[in-house]
Amino acid sequence: MNGPEILFYIPIFGGLPVTETLRNTWIVMAILILLSLWLTSGMKMQGISKKQVVVEQGVKMLYQMVEDTMGKDKLFFAPYIGTLFLFVLFSNLMGMFAMRAPTADLNTTAGLILIYFMLNQYFAIKCHGLAGRLKGFVEPIPVMLPLNIVGEFSTPISMALRLFGNIASGIVITSLIYQALTWVSNLVFGGITAFPVFAVGIPAVLSIYFDVFTDVMQAYIVTMLTMVFLAMAMD
Amino acid sequence: MEKAIVLGCSALGAGIAMIAGLGPGIGQGYAAGKAAEAVGRQPEAAGTVTRTLLTGCAVAESTGIYSLLIALTLIFVNPLVGML
Amino acid sequence: MDNLFLSLGYMPFISIDWTIIAQLLNTLILFLVLKKLLFGRVKQIIDARQAEVDKMYSDADAAMTEADRLKNLYADSVAGARDEAQRIVADARKTAEDQSEAILDEARTAASNMLAKAESEIASEKKKAVNEIKDEISDIAIMIAEKVVEKEITPADHEKLIADFIDRVGE
């Protein structure tokens, strides 16, 4: 099992590898930007089209969810949460189109969670003040200090690893299934054709669980956890 | 020869690491059972219960994911071979 | 081992390299673009519509309040008019009653006056008549007395005659 393929090197700092991950991220970004351009084109106040109803309903749902989970005073997070969800969802779903999902690379998930971590620290200090923030580490008892510090870092690390692990294991399992089906095909039809007959329809059915379900689920979960932990850090 | 031993032990280690998958399985099953009870008791709160269940399962899954990552690292990255 | 992977053109399965910075920047750029293009615009439309709806509602509320106020005003003025009418009718009736009372009183007074006058006239006439009769009686008595004196009647007859006469005339 290989990591992301290196496409070319940027000749600075001794050659920065540009990988499949980056290319697929750019594809996802392009899709999302074009999609939002298309979705928001021709928006009107009255006599709205079906497209606009859908996109408005989606945005309303997003704001409602942020309000329910984080509270009314943190509604300004909604665009970030929405971006996170859309980016992770589309990145996860890239795996269905025979491209390596950007989230199957630890760099992507770590980058996402790094943003979350910085936001978390910034708003925690902004809401509680530096002194209150430091005091929070020795609560409820000072003995908890090491645990609290570990907990502060383990939450984002586990979030990054969870997303990466789920998507990467999906890739591993899909490739294992392909290998197994190719092996069975060769066993059964080995004398007739080298084409892996069984590998045509069956993976699609399995990918409904391993790709679609897990992908949507993980996008939802990473968004949800980001909201919950941000709200917890601020309250 | 040494490399073969390390590779074989890495594979064994990966398999042993995945024993940790038991924990999240039991934990998530227990959580799902409790959630089913909660929905049975309060069907109108099904949405909230499901949301909490999913979030809780995601957190409970962490240990399983860690072991999975260790197994994947042992198999695909082979960090121990580089130490020879 | 890393070199082996790189020479094959693949990154390790699990690795952290400069891609993390690139992805971080990618996400930030995507966030800024989507915030401006998607969420900002849609939220603006939703808010504008919400504001419009709120305005319509408040306008409708204001119109309703105004209508209520006018309705109350009309009801008040109608009630006032009714009271006024009742008052006028009552006044008129009272005036009429007073007037009829006054007229009746006047008539009654006049009637009683006339009655009293008539009675007093009757009384005076009667008195006059009685006086005249008495005069006549006395004349007649004198006449009778002259005749009695001429015809020589007993005092008893005399007396009886006078009494009879008075009785008959004095009725």
pLDDT in tens, B25-80: 999 999 999 999 999 999 888 888 888 888 888 888 888 888 888 888 888 888 88
Q: What pLDDT, on the 0 to 100 scale, is given for residue C153? A: 62
- Residue A120 in any domain: the answer is yes
Contact A22, C27 (CB under 8 A): no
- Residue C19 located in a structural domain: no
Q: Does residue C121 sit within a domain?
A: yes
Does A1 fall in a domain? no
User: Identity (one letter) of the amino acid at C30?
Assistant: L
Question: Residues 151..210 of A with a Cβ closer than 8 Å to C: which?
Answer: 168
| pLDDT computed for residue C90 by the predictor | 92
Cα-to-chain-centroid distance, residue C135: 74
Domain that holds residue C119: 40-170
A108 found inside a domain: yes
In a domain, C128, yes or no: yes
Tell me how far apart the alpha carbons of residues A154 and A137 are, in angstroms, rounded to a whole number.
14
**C83 within domain boundaries:** yes
CB A189 within 8 A of CB A30: no
Question: pLDDT for A60-79, tens place per residue?
Answer: 888 888 888 888 888 888 88
> Facing residues of A16 across strands?
A10
Q: Is C33 within the bounds of a domain?
A: no
Task: Look at residue C165 and tell me if it is in a domain.
Answer: yes
Residues 6+ apart with CB under 8 A from A75: A63, A66, A67
C46 touches chain A (CB under 8 A): yes
- A213 within domain boundaries: yes
pLDDT in tens, chain A (235 residues): 677 777 777 777 777 788 888 888 999 999 999 988 888 887 777 777 888 888 888 888 888 888 888 888 888 888 899 999 999 999 888 877 777 888 888 888 999 999 999 988 898 888 888 888 888 788 778 888 888 888 888 888 888 888 888 888 888 888 888 888 888 888 877 667 667 777 677 777 777 777 788 888 888 888 988 888 888 888 7
Range of the domain at A192: 6-234
**pTM above threshold 0.90:** no
The answer, for A176 touching chain B at a CB cutoff of 8 Å, is no
Which residues from A are below 8 Å from B59, CB to CB?
158, 225
Tokens found for residue C43: 């939220």
What DSSP letter does each residue of chain A carry, written as one string? ---PBEEEEESSTT-EEEEHHHHHHHHHHHHHHHHHHHHHTT--SSS--HHHHHHHHHHHHHHHHHHHHH-GGGGGGHHHHHHHHHHHHHHHHGGGGTS--GGGSHHHHHHHHHHHHHHHHHHHHHHHHHHHHHHHHT-S-GGGHHHHHHHHHHHHHHHHHHHHHHHHHHHHHHHHHHHHHHHHHHHHHTTT-SS-GGGTTHHHHHHIIIIIIHHHHHHHHHHHHHHHHHHHHH-
- Total structural domains within chain C: 1
Q: What residues in C contact A39, CB-CB < 8 Å?
A: 38, 42
Residue C52 covered by a domain: yes
Residue A203 burial by Cβ neighbours in a 10 Å radius (0-12, 13-18, 19+): middle
- Please check the confidence at residue C155 and state whether its pLDDT lies above 80: no
pLDDT tens for C20-64 read: 888 888 889 988 988 888 888 888 888 888 898 899 999 999 999
Q: What angle separates helix A20-40 from helix A106-137, to the nearest 10 degrees?
A: 80
Interior angle at CA A202, CA A196 and CA A207, nearest 5:
120
Q: What is the total count of domains within chain A? A: 1
- Closest residue in chain A to residue B72, using alpha carbons only: A169
C65 touches chain A (CB under 8 A): no
Whether the complex's predicted ipTM is more than 0.90 is answered with no
